[in-house]
Amino acid sequence: MKKKTVSPLCIDIITVLPKLIESPFQHSIVKRAIDKKLVKVNIINLRDYSTGKYQSLDDYMYGGGAGMVMMIEPIAKCIEKLKKKKTYDEVIYMSPDGELFDQKMANRLSLNKNLIILCGHYKGVDERVREYFITKEISIGNYVLSGGELPAAVVCDAVIRLLPGVISDETSALTDSFQDGLLSPPVYTRPADYKGMKIPDILLSGNTKRVDEWRHERSIERTEKRRPDLLK
């Protein structure tokens, strides 16, 4: 009986600065996922879709004001060309005023097959891009960065590590912080006693049930102390 093959998640990232976002995909867990063909990450240079003499991607705002705006034409051409090749579950725009990214969203995105992520720059993109092409807007925090490349890399890392087969011990991802709405409990490794600094005795008991209970209690305590907003 033939083993059923699973199509890899495909993420197409549209960016003005390809080299800025290449590095996160060339190391560690994400690189191994790409090498194992569990995910495909395509970094697309938006300048290839500019029709201007100098490959311009931005222009002045209508109505005046400080800052430049990414033009609709190159972005529309790029997205339309990509859509001719495959159907996308989401066309994502990384934006400071998007929905705040969290573990639940990462879980949902990891179940998709094809994603586009548009990295903004300058003062942002022409509003018509958001109205007619974007299906989901994501923010990684209440602050502004120079562009959407770093936020896109954060989202990709959080999503890719959840794909089956990426982490050798898949239960590890399921016990990360925020998976159950709580922070992770304290963790320890050898030596059990370092210059009088000892680990809790329960962790040496060998009683799995009691250890699990202890960890859950510590998770609640840590969340109450550090992130009480999560318990609401």
Give the separation between CA 96 and CA 118, rounded to whole angstroms.
Answer: 13
End-to-end CA distance of the chain: 49
Q: What burial class does residue 122 get, using C-beta atoms within 10 Å of its C-beta: 0-12 exposed, 13-18 middle, 19+ buried?
A: middle
pLDDT attached to residue 6? 67
Q: Three-class SS string for 126-192?
A: CHHHHHHCCCEEEECCCCCCCECHHHHHHHHHHHHCCCCCCCCCHHHHHCCCCCCCCCCCCCCCCCC
What does the DSSP 8-state code read for residue 62? Answer: T
Show the tokens assigned to 163: 């794909």
CATH architecture, domain 9-160: 3-Layer(aba) Sandwich (3.40)
Q: What burial class does residue 86 get, using C-beta atoms within 10 Å of its C-beta: 0-12 exposed, 13-18 middle, 19+ buried?
A: exposed
pLDDT attached to residue 178? 60
pLDDT attached to residue 176? 57
pLDDT tens per residue, range 31-50: 999 999 999 999 999 999 99
CATH architecture, domain 175-231: Orthogonal Bundle (1.10)
Q: Give Cα separations from 176 to 33, 62, 171, 227 (angstroms).
A: 19, 46, 9, 15
pLDDT attached to residue 122? 86
- The full set of domain ranges for the chain reads 9-160, 175-231
Residues of the chain with pLDDT below 70 are 1-6, 169-179
Give the separation between CA 75 and CA 82, rounded to whole angstroms.
Answer: 11
Taking the whole predicted model, whether its pTM rises above 0.85 is answered as yes
Closest CA to 153 of 168, 169, 138: 138
Q: How many helical (H) and strand (E) elements, i.e. helices and strands, does the chain have?
A: 8, 9
pLDDT tens per residue, range 164-206: 999 875 555 555 556 678 999 999 999 999 999 999 999 999 9
